[in-house]
Amino acid sequence: MKTLIIIGSYPNTQISIDVLKKCIESLNKNFDIALSTHYPVNVDIQHMCNYYFYDSENPVIQENNNPIKWFRNELFYLQVKHLKNHAYAAYSSILNALNVLHKQYSDFFYINGDTLFSETDILKLINLKDQIGNKKAIFFKEFEGMVDAKIFYSDIKFFIKEFSNINSKDDFVKYTKSFVTPYVSNVLESYFAERIDKYFSNDIFIINENLGKYFDTSQIDVLDSINGNPEKKRDYQVHLVKENKSNKIFFVYINNNVNFEPKKINVKLNDEEFVLNNGNYSFYKEVYYDKEVYLNVENSVKIYSVDDILKNKDSYIQFN
């Protein structure tokens, strides 16, 4: 019997479906695949796997203490809060598979469905268990004090015993609510890191290298999720946020490309079309709105609810 890999995914767009297929194809020759989702997949994808688990309940966390990311430059401060957090949904999809398969398998890998492995790194994955010794699980270091939840390995009995103390979304929120730095409330990585540090540091082998460097010929974390719609990650961010202490709404562009390589980015904002140069460090523009805002960036279309933007008081731009 091959080693089990549980793949977690939420394939609700064509691009996430295409990436998921490539992920499964890169793994199913060498591993038994259990796909576990909260969004239904077609029969063709099911037939690519050994097992398929579908849970129609998608327990999204919508709490005041969801993670926040921020950006600052000489012009403005930007703070963006995640309205929807899928940490517990990912956690529950792992348990959905393990609760059925724990008698057939002794151990497993968990892998996000937007991971595309090269043949070279498949061999690294196969040989990873050789490093475990008498430990019960393997996690990768994300940064100091934090482990990564996108790829990890564990003995199944150990995982069910020590990492299944959460029985509901509310339990997860309650358990992580008091987390302090480096842990963050409502984050799966923080849940694992806190449990490991407090109770199981001697049982876990931590690889002191991040996933991108370890699997350096593969594509890790290919997709980003904006308002629940997966899309391929770009070397820039775009946001629609209100101005702090007003009801003005702004389109904000931030360049994440450290090399600032020139690139023309076509944008359509409601009925207005313009072009951004990816060499620009940042750009903002006031949006004149009715009930919705239409945004098309490089042919990726999203329609934002103005009410949602204005209600999300923790996501805003504040000018210097």
d(CA 169, CA 88): 6
Confidence (pLDDT) at 279: 66
**Phi/psi of residue 157, nearest 5 degrees:** -60, -40
Summarize the confidence of residues 124-129 as an average pLDDT: 93
- Predicted confidence (pLDDT) per residue in 204-218, tens digit: 999 999 999 999 999
Q: Which residues pair with 151 in a beta bridge?
A: 111
For every residue of 163-201, DSSP letters joined together read S----SHHHHHHHHTT--TT--TT-HHHHHHHHIIIIIT
> 217-263 pLDDT, tens per residue?
999 989 876 555 677 778 888 999 999 999 999 999 998 776 666 78
218: how many CB neighbours lie within 10 A of its CB? 21
Residue-wise pLDDT tens digits, 141-167: 998 889 999 999 999 999 999 999 999
Taking the C-alpha atoms of residue 150 and residue 156, their distance in angstroms, rounded to an integer, is 17
Domain with residues 234-319, CATH architecture: Sandwich (2.60)
Domain positions in the chain = 4-63+84-214, 234-319
Q: What are the tens digits of pLDDT across the range 38-85?
A: 999 999 999 999 999 999 999 999 887 888 888 888 999 999 988 788
What pLDDT, on the 0 to 100 scale, is given for residue 226? 55
| Tokens representing residue 264 in the block | 């023309």
- Per residue in 3-34, pLDDT (tens digit) is 999 999 999 889 899 999 999 999 999 999 99
Q: How many Cα atoms are found within 13 Å in the side-chain-facing hemisphere of 48?
A: 19
Whole-number pLDDT of residue 45: 98
- Residue 135, pLDDT above cutoff 60: yes
**Residues 237 and 283 sit within 8 Å (Cβ to Cβ):** no
Topology alike, domains 4-63+84-214 and 234-319: no
Yes or no: domain 4-63+84-214 corresponds to CATH 3.90.550.10: yes
Q: How many CB atoms lie within 10 A of CB 209?
A: 12
Query: 173 and 63 in contact (C-beta within 8 Å)?
Result: yes
31 touches 2 (CB < 8 A): yes
Instruction: Fill in the amino acid letter for 80.
Output: V
Q: What is the pLDDT of residue 63?
A: 82
pLDDT at res. 68: 84
Considering only CA atoms, which of 231, 271, 262, 267 is closest in space to residue 252?
267
Q: What is the pLDDT of residue 144?
A: 86
Summarize the confidence of residues 291-316 as an average pLDDT.
91
pTM of the model: 0.84
Asked whether residue 285 carries a pLDDT value surpassing 90, the answer given is yes
